[in-house]
Amino acid sequence: MIELYAATKRFRSSGGVHTAIRDVHLSVGSGEFVAVVGPTGCGKSTTLSLISGLEPASDGRVLVHGRPVEGIPDGVGYMFQNDAVLPWRSVLDNVAAGPRYRGTSKREARDRARDWITRVGLAGFEGYYPHQLSGGMRKRVALAQTLVNEPSVLLMDEPFSALDVQTRGLMQDELLRLWSGSGAAVVFVTHDLEEALVLADRVVVMTAGPATIKSTFTVPLDRPRNAEEVRLTPEFLDIYREVWDSLREEVQITRERGTGNAA
């Protein structure tokens, strides 16, 4: 579904050229959930931008559905850290916007939106506006907004990082429930190693910037998983330690560079 071969991205900056990611090799199959972790500023969001076609690669190849990415490929859903919920639209109209944009009739778009609003647990809130919802509820709207388009490739950039710990756990469970059986290939970027391990089949550790893939771990936890329970198991702690050993060095390098912008 997603293939990156030696993908490299350079940005022109005032001081010359800045390499954000270099030689990234990654392939994600249908129905596979991959989490990407790495220190702040290393190039995680840039990796998603290449897959989604928002930015072209400077070198290497990026394929989605076996075709080189040029512009935004069909079937790609993108959930950003800051959700794209529009404040002046009701929950129903926010969720129906995607299908409408894709040419679905108003009636059918609204029917599909209602169905997804129910699936994310917001039945009864169709007529509410975003400011009338809690942060967790807005994330549910954003999730419905993304999933209503039935993406075969789902890109998520720290979608739950602004939420409190309990709401986050709930959203992780919701996501697993909604994704399971959908066949979607997921790339989920997060700072939070615990979140990565709770959700993913594989966890990819990126180096300090310019990011390349340092190591990949298979998560040996059965599905279906319960976000709150799985993190208390001995298997979880073992894999956590193993991945953290790899990630810690990169976080350290980034810290030693100081300034927090990791340039």
Ligand X SMILES: Nc1ncnc2c1ncn2[C@@H]1O[C@H](COP(=O)(O)OP(=O)(O)OP(=O)(O)O)[C@@H](O)[C@H]1O
Give the interface with ligand X as residue ranges (CB under 6 A): 11, 13, 18, 20, 38, 40-46, 191, 209, 263
Residues 6+ apart with CB under 8 A from 142: 79, 83, 84, 85, 159
CB of 25 to ligand X, least distance (A): 17
CB of 125 to Mg ion, least distance (A): 30
- What residue 144 binds from Mg ion, ligand X, none (CB within 5 to 8 A, per partner kind)? none
Considering beta carbons, is residue 35 or 42 the nearer one to ligand X?
Answer: 42
**CB contact burial 90-100 (16+ within 10 A = b; e otherwise):** bbbbbbbbbbe
**How far apart (Å, rounded) are the C-alpha atoms in residues 98 and 105?**
11
**Residue 68: is the preceding peptide bond cis (ω within 30°)?**
no
CB 210 within 8 A of CB 180: no
Stretch that binds Mg ion, among 8-16, 39-47, 136-144, 223-231 (CB under 5 A): 39-47
CA quadruple 176, 177, 181, 182: dihedral sign: negative
CB of 113 to ligand X, least distance (A): 30
Considering beta carbons, is residue 7 or 96 the nearer one to ligand X?
Answer: 7
- What residue 259 binds from ligand X, Mg ion, none (CB within 5 to 8 A, per partner kind)? none
* Residues constituting the chain: 263
Which residues make beta-bridge pairs with 17?
Answer: 12
- What residue 10 binds from Mg ion, ligand X, none (CB within 5 to 8 A, per partner kind)? none
46 near Mg ion, rule: CB under 5 A: no
47 near Mg ion, rule: CB under 5 A: no
**How far apart (Å, rounded) are the C-alpha atoms in residues 116 and 146?**
10
Considering beta carbons, is residue 40 or 182 the nearer one to Mg ion?
Answer: 40
45 near Mg ion, rule: CB under 5 A: yes
Considering beta carbons, is residue 45 or 90 the nearer one to Mg ion?
Answer: 45
Residues that bind Mg ion (CB under 5 A): 45
